[in-house]
Amino acid sequence: MRIFLIAILALISSPSTQDYPTLIAEARTCFETGRHEECDALLAELRGMKLKRLQRRKVCTLWLDNTYHTGRHEAFLEALGSKYVKQNLDRTDYDYWRKVSLLHPMEVVWPQEPELLPLKTIGPQGKSLYGIDVMVNGKPLVGMIDNCCCNYCSISTELAEQLGVRPIGKTIRYNGNRQAKAYIGIVDSLVIGGLVVKNVLFDVSDNIETVQAVFPLDIIIGGNVLRRVGDMIIDNVNGTVAFSNKTLDLPRNLVWTYVNHDYYIDGTLDGNAVSLLFDTGSNDTHLNKKYYERFPSDSTYAEATVTTVMMDRSWTTKAYLIEEAHFNMCGKDFILNDVTIRLEDYGNSRGDGSLGVDALRQFKSIVFNAGKLYLQLTL
């Protein structure tokens, strides 16, 4: 009887393997929101659990991410050399991280004072994207700022070969499309005005040519850089952008929520409550199937078609059109014409659609810090 009771008590006191999905999600959130010590503690707890192979791989990847991206090189090497990682991480991923361990980490060299840099208009007037002059490995190029391109910057295969981008071996796929493959390469330097970012990871693929056919750009500046360059200040009135590592002393209207690198801004459209993805990589504001399911029978909708251009493909589908959409976002009233409602399952957004650059230009300025997790839209 005593042995039986001890066994029960041991079972009760040990971590429940049923909790691992919650713990992994909590650890991921801690990593993404900069609470790295909390992430360390949760990962240590998870490594003591009896998990399935797929979950152990997730723990390994998060452990390496959490040490590498915080610049804790010794802790990163310790994790990479651990028995747990060697036994559980997929061999391709392990080889990738081994190559990463031989690289110098990303480094940001700041100018003495923030510079006001001219924004470039990428695309047709009224439906354009935010662009900026950059230099990649010494070559002048045009970059597009995309906060939703979360993990890497992007460049074409041909241009990467011209610039001597060094592959480090990992293959990625866009949107689960097995035909749309890319590899990860490292760029020695990305220069934005007087700001220099060294050792930048890019995904290298011909898929960017689908976007380049519509928008005159050379590279996409993604979240891995934006998370390291402090405040990004876009001045829509004067058409400038600046980057600052001195957090600006400005009032913050924090009317957004944050989920998995994405920012959702709450507001209204024609009096209906909406939550829209903050997306500098989308030239237009659009709604999705979730919005249509909430408000399906509006007589103001007009039938239309919409062409979507993404990294791996473009396609045309049926849609509805709101010819004059009245928004209130962050206390700002504005009208956008011809806002589409997509009827296909488009993306994995938890919100009602995306707030694109056509809407963001309605504000005087935008202050965005992907590292410290804040966003300000000035009326």
- Whether residue 9 is contained in a domain is answered as no
Are residues 325 and 346 part of one domain?
Answer: yes
pLDDT surpassing 50 at residue 2: no
**Tens digits of residue pLDDT in 98-157:** 888 888 888 899 998 888 999 998 988 778 899 999 999 999 999 999 988 767 899 999
Give me the numbers of helices (H) and strands (E) for the chain, helices first please.
12, 22
Model pLDDT, residue 149: 76
Q: What is the number of other CB atoms lying within 10 angstroms of the CB of residue 317?
A: 13
Are residues 262 and 167 part of one domain?
Answer: no
- Whether residue 40 is contained in a domain is answered as yes
Confidence category of residue 376, pLDDT binned at 50, 70, 90: confident
Confidence category of residue 249, pLDDT binned at 50, 70, 90: low
Are residues 289 and 203 part of one domain?
Answer: no
Are residues 371 and 261 part of one domain?
Answer: yes
CA distance 287 to 173: 26
- Whether residue 4 is contained in a domain is answered as no
Q: Which of 185, 202, 234 is a domain's end point?
A: 234
pLDDT surpassing 60 at residue 347: no
- Whether residue 183 is contained in a domain is answered as yes
Model pLDDT, residue 361: 93
- Whether residue 194 is contained in a domain is answered as yes
**Tens digits of residue pLDDT in 314-323:** 667 788 889 8
- Whether residue 2 is contained in a domain is answered as no
Q: Which of 102, 137, 152 is a domain's end point?
A: 102
Instruction: Kindly state the tokens that stand for 226.
Output: 């934006």
Q: Which of 70, 86, 102 is a domain's end point?
A: 102
CA distance 346 to 302: 20
Domain range enclosing 314: 256-378
Are residues 358 and 284 part of one domain?
Answer: yes
- Whether residue 139 is contained in a domain is answered as yes
Q: Taking Cα atoms as reference points, which of 146, 370, 149, 154 lies closest to residue 280?
A: 146
Are residues 80 and 135 part of one domain?
Answer: no
Spatial neighbors of 97 by CB under 8 A, at least 6 apart, are 64, 68, 80, 89
**Tens digits of residue pLDDT in 259-311:** 556 788 889 999 999 999 899 998 889 998 889 888 886 667 888 877 766 65
CA distance 207 to 118: 28
Are residues 116 and 52 part of one domain?
Answer: no
Model pLDDT, residue 3: 45
Q: Taking Cα atoms as reference points, which of 222, 183, 189 lies closest to residue 206?
A: 183
pLDDT surpassing 60 at residue 22: yes
Q: What is the per-residue DSSP string for 41-105?
A: HHHHHHHTS---HHHHHHHHHHHHHHHHTTT-HHHHHHHHTSHHHHHHS-HHHHHHHHHHHTSPP
Q: Which residues pair with 321 in a beta bridge?
A: 302, 340
Are residues 271 and 354 part of one domain?
Answer: yes
Report residue 101 CA to chain centroid gap.
23
Bridge-based pairing of strands 286-287 and 353-355 is antiparallel
Which CATH number is 138's domain given?
2.40.70.10
Spatial neighbors of 376 by CB under 8 A, at least 6 apart, are 250, 251, 252, 253, 254, 365, 366, 367, 368
CA distance 343 to 336: 19
Are residues 343 and 287 part of one domain?
Answer: yes
Are residues 118 and 220 part of one domain?
Answer: yes
Tell me how many domains the chain contains: 3
**Tens digits of residue pLDDT in 283-293:** 889 998 889 88
Model pLDDT, residue 378: 81
Are residues 116 and 97 part of one domain?
Answer: no
Are residues 269 and 349 part of one domain?
Answer: yes
**Tens digits of residue pLDDT in 78-87:** 999 999 999 9
Confidence category of residue 45, pLDDT binned at 50, 70, 90: very high
- Whether residue 3 is contained in a domain is answered as no
Model pLDDT, residue 56: 93
